[in-house]
Amino acid sequence: MKNLPFILIAFFMAFQACGQPQKDTDTIISNNPTNLKLKVLYFHITNRCMTCRGIEANVRKTLDEQFRNEVETGVIDLYIMNCELPENKDLVEKYEAYGATLAITSFQNGKEQKTEDLTNWAFQKAHDPELFVSELKSKINEYIQ
Amino acid sequence: MRKFKLQGMMLIAFLYFLLFFAACSSVSQQNEMNDKDTIVAELPDTLAADQTADSLLHDDADTIKKMVPKSDQPRILVYNFHVTNRCPSCIAIEDATTKTLNTYFSREMKDGRIKRYIMNVDDDANRSIAEKYQVFGSGVFVTRVFKGKEATTDLTGDGFKYAKNKEEKFIEILKTKISEYLK
């Protein structure tokens, strides 16, 4: 009986180690709304597959490597969100992002202009990070230049 | 007394490792179950083919004529690709595809105008078809075959976007595409 607390801790640690899915937290990078020209949004579900994670990694890579300055000055915002969290419900409905969804929305003088859904494209190119980055870079440039 | 305490500690350590591996093995068992599910999931295609064959044996001549797809009509191939360890979205896409075909296209499935394939891309036997469709993970494709020409629509993105949490929307998209291709 004296050892019961230790046994319970062992139980807890074992289930923590193997039983729980990894939780992702939302990322929102929005540095200066007055400069905003483009929002890049990627939605995902809670239990994610390799392709879904790959798309997020490719999106981050594109912004980190090609648009670091634009992100820092607020020209481009990045939203990575779990579409199954209740706090994201409004954005999920707006973008019809009920599962993995990549979308970009352009802005001019603080007003929302056009949204393009890149989900089908993203799943087609996800396996080729170089091509993904190159094509997404061109797409983003169309909106911010 | 000291020896007894040491034995107690060793027992706790042993229990911890035992529990750790038990928990981990339950996860790998789940993965193995997923593999088994894959085999079960591949059955509908086999079943559909068997049902057609059975009907051919037992039905009358008129029915047989109806069941052989006419060469002047387009044929539709519906592919669900997946990897061995599947995510909820991938499973939802397959389920929604099954519902779409069973609900709206059971006649075309029966008469052979629509063929459905569920394939594990990790399986070497499916390598050439996976390469043809450039699919490396989950995917859902609809192909129209008519007069020796093929046209394909990739609905993978729509599948991931809608199938799990907005199934009716994905079913509508898939139904519309198949209906368009059947014309």
Q: Tens digits of per-residue pLDDT, B51-88?
A: 333 233 333 344 444 445 566 899 999 999 999 989 99
d(CA A6, CA A37): 56
For the segment A58-73, the average pLDDT, to the nearest whole number, is: 97
The confidence band for B13, taking pLDDT boundaries of 50, 70 and 90, is low
Residue A8: CB partners within 8 Å, gap ≥ 6?
Answer: none
For the segment B35-46, the average pLDDT, to the nearest whole number, is: 33
Position with higher pLDDT, B167 vs A9: B167
d(CA A24, CA A45): 10
Res B72: pLDDT = 82
For the segment B122-128, the average pLDDT, to the nearest whole number, is: 94
Least confident stretch, A89-98, B22-31, B87-96: B22-31
Question: Looking at the predicted structure, is the pLDDT value of residue B132 above 80?
Answer: yes
Nearest to B42 by CA among B138, B139, B117, B128: B117
Q: Does B30 touch chain A (CB under 8 A)?
A: no
Question: Looking at the predicted structure, is the pLDDT value of residue B49 above 80?
Answer: no
- The nearest CA of chain B is from the CA of A121 a distance in Å of 7
Q: Does B56 touch chain A (CB under 8 A)?
A: no
For the segment A95-123, the average pLDDT, to the nearest whole number, is: 96
Nearest to B100 by CA among B146, B162, B57: B162
Whether B23 sits inside 8 A of A100 (CB atoms) is no
Question: Looking at the predicted structure, is the pLDDT value of residue A83 above 50?
Answer: yes
The confidence band for B159, taking pLDDT boundaries of 50, 70 and 90, is very high
Res A25: pLDDT = 75
Res B124: pLDDT = 95
Res B92: pLDDT = 96
Mutation for testing the A interface, residue in B6, B19, B154 having most A CBs under 10 Å: B19
CA-to-CA dists, residue A34 to A107, A116, B107, angstroms: 10, 21, 57
Q: Does B136 touch chain A (CB under 8 A)?
A: yes
Which chain A positions have a beta carbon within 8 Å of B24's beta carbon? Answer: 17-18
Position with higher pLDDT, A57 vs B20: A57
Whether B161 sits inside 8 A of A96 (CB atoms) is yes
Q: Does B16 touch chain A (CB under 8 A)?
A: yes
Mutation for testing the B interface, residue in A49, A58, A84, A116 having most B CBs under 10 Å: A49
Position with higher pLDDT, A11 vs B148: B148
Q: Does B99 touch chain A (CB under 8 A)?
A: no
pTM: 0.72
CA-to-CA dists, residue B118 to A31, B125, B133, angstroms: 46, 13, 13
Res A6: pLDDT = 56
Res B181: pLDDT = 97
User: What percentage of chain A exceeds 70 in pLDDT?
Assistant: 83
Whether A98 sits inside 8 A of B161 (CB atoms) is yes
Residue A42 has what DSSP assignment? Answer: E
Which chain B positions have a beta carbon within 8 Å of A88's beta carbon? Answer: none
Give ipTM to 2 decimals. 0.79
Mean pLDDT of chain B: 76
Report the residue of chain B nearest A1, measured CA to CA. B8
Res B139: pLDDT = 95
Which chain B positions have a beta carbon within 8 Å of A101's beta carbon? Answer: 160-161
Whether B161 sits inside 8 A of A121 (CB atoms) is no
Burial class (CB in 10 A: 0-12, 13-18, 19+), B30: exposed
A–B CB contacts, 8 A cutoff, strictly below: 103
- The nearest CA of chain B is from the CA of A50 a distance in Å of 8
d(CA A65, CA B44): 46
Chain A interface residues (partner B, CB cutoff 8 A): 2-3, 6-7, 10-11, 13-15, 17-19, 45, 47-52, 83-84, 96-101, 119-124, 126-127
The confidence band for A4, taking pLDDT boundaries of 50, 70 and 90, is low
Residue B121: CB partners within 8 Å, gap ≥ 6?
Answer: B81, B82, B83, B127, B130, B135, B136, B137, B139
Asked if B55 and B110 touch (Cβ cutoff 8 Å), the reply is yes
